[in-house]
Chain A
Amino acid sequence: MTDRNEAEPSAEPYVATTTQDTGTPTPDQPDGRRPLTGNMIIQAVTEGHSVVITILAVFVALVIGAVLIVASDPAVLRAWDSFGYAPGTALSATWNSVAAAYSALFEGAIFAPGTISAAFHGGSIAAIFYPLSLTAFEATPLILTGLSVALAFRAGMFNIGAAGQWIGGALVATWLGYAVNLPIVLHAVVCIIGAFIGGAVIGWIVGEIKARTGAHEVILTIMMNYVMYNFLSFLVTSQKLMQAPGQTNAVAPNINSNAFLPHVGGPPPQVGVGFLIALAAAAATAWLLSRSTLGFQFRAVGASPSAARSAGISVERVWVLAFLIAGGLAGLSASTIVQGQTSPLTTTSYGTYGFDGITVALLGRARPLGVVLAGLLFGALNAGGTVMEAATGVPSDVTNVIEALIVLFVAAPPLIRMLFRLRRGGGAGPQAVASKGWSG
């Protein structure tokens, strides 16, 4: 009997010798790690950055935002013209510009100190919490579309079609809202379910096509978005279809007030039911992904479709189901808007929720909790942005730029590290291995 090779260390070098031509020269001994296999989207999205990186990314993005604000402020530019003999004015003008903008941003999103002192003098307590509730309100649809995109990411797919799925949900919710009459709570619930189904159907179409033909979902979802934009316009501009009777504008009828989503929670703080739905959806998604057999399949297919297939998991079925549920989540997002006591459905109601969902999902590392936090952050920025624009004239688009920059920096940890000369810590993931390569 032969003796076993006793001294086998657990970090023994792994040599990949696969049948197919991987195209990479495989050195005998990489630094104890395996070559990258599996789905790099998952690795790129879900790993590779720490809390520190996020905070720094936010900081850098805010700095760039500040630059944008001052560089386009006529008052500041004039002050800098006379920098030579009044440098102090230039600097203070710069500072004031940024400070005004960002403090308006903060006050619009978190809280305004003025309201606290006003409360002491008999003002309303509700006003203190108003910015926060506005943030929650803005965050709600973002969290839901974020969950939609995140769920698809975990199953290995890019859902760029959250906007189209959103429209699907919006159409069903709106129609149920005005076309039927139901008692108060029931009507809202029916509309919510209808929205989920509407979005799920659009998602299902993409999943089904992908499953049957192998087409890539990036193109499918982008095209589907445009189909839905036009479909929405088509429906809402036709009196025979969904245009409000007697209207020449492209709007759908108002929905029955029984279908509205109310605010709950006593005297302040008040929270829209939509926000609670978003939180519940996040919890459900988290459970689905980490504790259910279905989620196990999603993650397996997302991480390695070939291994999943060899283990008997139906990859195609996962694609369909994942897109179906993702579509439903986007539809829920529409429900919170359509039933949120704001304006009726128009040709542009979908706004940027779909694409914002992508940035939220990326920032939240495709994990439900992360998505909630990212959604709140972006919700805060959006809420604050409106106030900022009203108070200082700085267009709220700058918050969109800031949000996108945050995501860009968070997705590129090496850049942040370079900027701040950070050492690569233990939290580095495969992304760091990729940058390093196999040479020492």
Chain B
Amino acid sequence: MKLELRGITKRFGSLVANDHIDLVVQPGEIRALLGENGAGKTTLMNVLYGLVQPDAGEILLDDEPVTIHSPRDAIRAKVGMVHQHFMLVPVFTVAENVTLGTEPVHRLATPAMKVGGLRIPPLGLPSVGLLDRRKARREVLALSERFGLRVDPDALVEDLPVGVQQRVEIIKALLRDARVLVLDEPTAVLTPGETEDLFRIMRELREGGRSIIFISHKLKEVQAIADNITIIRRGKVVGERPPSTSSVELASLMVGRSVQLRVSKEPARPGDVVLDITDVGVHGERGEQSVREVSFQVRAGEILGVAGVQGNGQTELCEALMGLRPSTGSVRLNGADLSHASTRDRLRAGIGYVPEDRSEDGLVGDFSVADNLILDVYDEPPYASGLALNLDAIRDSAVRRVEEYDVRTTSVETQAGTLSGGNQQKVVVAREMSRDVKLLLASQPTRGLDVGSIEFVHKRLVAQRDAGAAVLIVSSELDEIYALADRIAVMYEGRIVAFCPPTIPEEELGLLMAGGGTGSAAPEPGGEPETPVPAEEPSHD
């Protein structure tokens, strides 16, 4: 089905999210929408799907204008969408989720009867709505077979791995005969192997004349799968390019200026071992083991990057290291045993923590910037004397730090929750780095940030390393790992499956992250410093 968006404009207050966007997608085409976070890609697709009403513009399907006021209309118009955050009810089965809204029900009817001499055929009774589970199961399996999307109709969605959940979302769209399928950042949660699988499915779907819109900010994927790439920046279409276009050109279209893809840093000069963890294990919420016998060391003056696709235990590992989750094994900081210490004690012992989810765990949104800056030291001098807070000292120190870390805010009394993502992260970073930390633990430190903020955070992390701290970074962004890490540890299914130098080729790293292994997957021997790594990595295209 041919899709055309004409002049779509959408404002949120004073912010123009979509600015007269024109887009034409032919049947059987895979179109990539490329842009940074915040560029307007998802808003545009939300307009298409009826979740958001545009201020101007129209939508045409097969050259016919359509009005889409709600997802119902979009579904009826045969537009399907797989959202970034799945629209699946965790406690329902796959079949229930797929058929929600179009559930097959038992048709009740009177039996065929003979009265007098008359033959009365079965009369349909109003359906009382009893679910026909068997039919639902059959429908799901039929689609599953046809497109090679393996799912178990009776499994509970909450028990399924993310890659399978995504397949359920796709089947959901296909059940409603979607002819235009929108995939919003589908590979964010997939391993490289699962991504390949997804691409295969996309090509399969394309064969049937469906148009596919693939939203991403990942250059390489877009180049691999798209027939055509539309680049969006700050609400406007800034270009359309074939996939053969160079990464540099695509990146600069995305960002609007020429971007250096790497932060330059000095070689690492690792010193003594600061963090030494042995056999750390964590039981997840439902009893499964999310972290198994993880051991490694981080030295002063080096950055260890833990690479891995989300969901392989990294979150649990970080929480365990911070005492936010019970764990087995030993955790030692500069020789002191923190294995059973409370979060508070670990923070005071010199660990800085930049949590994965800054809005939930990193900041108290309702608190002022100043209060957030002392969130973990509020009861220490000079911020408090005894039971009483020293409001002046808090404020003065906040003013200094906001200046030093370039936090864009009108005042230190502004609520932290109203700041942009980048500035929020700067507050967290300012807080953790202003203390005397021996180990800095940063989990997904630049998730959701714009390029400028990413640069800022990366620079600060490197500076911390150069000042002699041990830095432990956990990230699922390979670019970040390559940019920052002096050594890489790969985490898969709760274990560290390999230690590698940052010179490792990306395909090999991707393979390790997916659970495949090569000979270099050996556990780290104790204590020997690595050879220094070169400052400029060869490009990885």
Contacts and interface: CB of A to CB of B under 8 A. Distances in A.
Contacts of A440: 10-13, 55
Given A4-B456, A27-B43, A306 B85 contact: no
A12 B422 contact: yes
A131 B388 CA distance: 39
Contact of A43 (B40, B366, B379, B444): B366
Interface in A25-57: 25-35, 37-38, 42-43
Q: Which one of B264, B365, B452 has the highest number of Cβ atoms from chain A below 10 Å of its Cβ?
A: B365
B365 A38 contact: yes
B46 A25 contact: yes
Contact of B360 (A27, A300, A307): A307
A190 interface: no
B365 A303 contact: yes
A10 B12 contact: no
Interface in A288-320: 291-294, 296-297, 299-300, 303-304, 306-314
Contacts of B259: 2
B344 A313 contact: yes
A25 B422 contact: no
Q: Which one of B342, B344, B348 has the highest number of Cβ atoms from chain A below 10 Å of its Cβ?
A: B344
A24 interface: yes
Contact of B83 (A19, A25, A293): A25
B420 A292 contact: no
A19 B85 contact: no
B206 interface: no
B365 A31 contact: no
B409 interface: yes
Interface string B366-387: 1100010001101100001001
Given A2-B259, A10-B420, A28 B364 contact: no
A15 to B, nearest CB: 5
B163 to A, nearest CB: 14
A22 interface: yes
A5 B12 contact: no
B369 to A, nearest CB: 12
Nearest to A22: B85
B315 interface: yes
Given A291-B388, A311-B347, A15 B37 contact: yes
Contacts of B455: 2, 4
Interface in B316-340: 322, 324
Contacts of B90: 21
> How many of chain A's residues touch chain B, expressed as a range?
35 or more
A293 B384 CA distance: 7
A190 to B, nearest CB: 25
B483 to A, nearest CB: 12
B311 to A, nearest CB: 8
B113 to A, nearest CB: 50
A281 B37 CA distance: 50
A254 B188 CA distance: 72
Contact of B51 (A15, A20, A25, A32): A25
A17 B447 contact: yes
Nearest to B416: A34
B355 interface: yes
A11 interface: yes
Interface string A310-342: 111110000000000000000000000000000
Contact of B42 (A23, A26, A37, A309): A26
B12 A303 contact: no
B84 A26 contact: yes
A304 B360 contact: yes
Contacts of B360: 18, 37, 304, 306-307
A15 B38 CA distance: 6
Contacts of B17: 13, 27-29
Contacts of A303: 364-367
Contacts of B355: 310
B41 interface: yes
A267 B278 CA distance: 76
A294 to B, nearest CB: 6
B53 interface: yes
A388 to B, nearest CB: 41
Given A293-B387, A311-B375, A29 B38 contact: yes
Contacts of B348: 312
A438 interface: yes
A11 B420 contact: yes
B148 interface: no
Contacts of B444: 19
Nearest to A34: B417
Given A15-B37, A38-B365, A312-B343, A32 B46 contact: no
B243 to A, nearest CB: 23
Contact of A293 (B357, B359, B389): B389
B492 interface: no
A313 B361 CA distance: 12
A31 B376 CA distance: 31
B420 A14 contact: yes
Contacts of A24: 85
A291 B14 CA distance: 37
Nearest to A308: B364
Contacts of B46: 25, 27
Nearest to B188: A17
B13 A32 contact: yes
A106 B327 CA distance: 64
Interface in B264-295: 264
B208 interface: no
30 contacts: A4-B452, A10-B419, A10-B420, A12-B450, A17-B448, A18-B360, A19-B310, A22-B85, A25-B84, A26-B84, A26-B85, A27-B42, A27-B51, A29-B17, A29-B235, A32-B13, A33-B418, A34-B418, A37-B365, A293-B378, A296-B371, A296-B379, A297-B378, A303-B367, A306-B357, A310-B324, A311-B347, A438-B52, A440-B13, A440-B55
Interface of A: 1-5, 8-35, 37-38, 42-43, 291-294, 296-297, 299-300, 303-304, 306-314, 438-440
Interface of B: 10-15, 17, 37-43, 46, 51-53, 55, 83-87, 90, 235, 257, 259-260, 264, 310, 315, 322, 324, 342-348, 353, 355-357, 359-367, 371, 375-376, 378-379, 384, 387-389, 391, 408-410, 417-424, 444, 447-448, 450-452, 455-456
Q: Which 9 A-B pairs have the closest CB atoms?
A: A5-B452, A312-B344, A31-B13, A12-B420, A17-B448, A31-B12, A29-B17, A10-B408, A311-B376
